[in-house]
Amino acid sequence: MNTNIPTTKQRIDRTMKPEQFNQVVEAIGAGRYSWACLLILRFAGYNPLHYIPYRTYSRLIRENRQASESTNQTSQEVSQITASKYN
């Protein structure tokens, strides 16, 4: 009876980096649980398409791209407002 025990190197390769972990936490905090699951699968080295339907995957990618663009735009606007107050 041989069990396949992953080596230390294999475990290290699947460890999330702090910025990846922060992305998952932000998604959970925003109530985007499906996106958090997709991120976890991706960061762990799995192909999310093996676990979720393609239509769901493409919808999550599309929605996150839109959310990311709006977040970036909002943060740029806040930076501009803050800079104008102190100048």
For residue 63, count other CB atoms closer than 10 A to its CB. Answer: 13
10-53, pLDDT tens digit by residue?
555 668 899 999 999 999 999 999 999 999 999 999 999 999 99
66-77, pLDDT tens digit by residue?
877 766 565 565
Burial of residue 21, with CB atoms counted within 10 A of its CB: 0-12 exposed, 13-18 middle, 19 or more buried: middle
The CA R_g of the chain, rounded to the nearest whole Å, is 18
Nearest 5 degrees, angle CA 80-CA 71-CA 53? Answer: 165
Q: Whole-model pTM above 0.75?
A: no
In the numeric block, the tokens 């991120």 are attached to 39
CB 59 within 8 A of CB 35: no
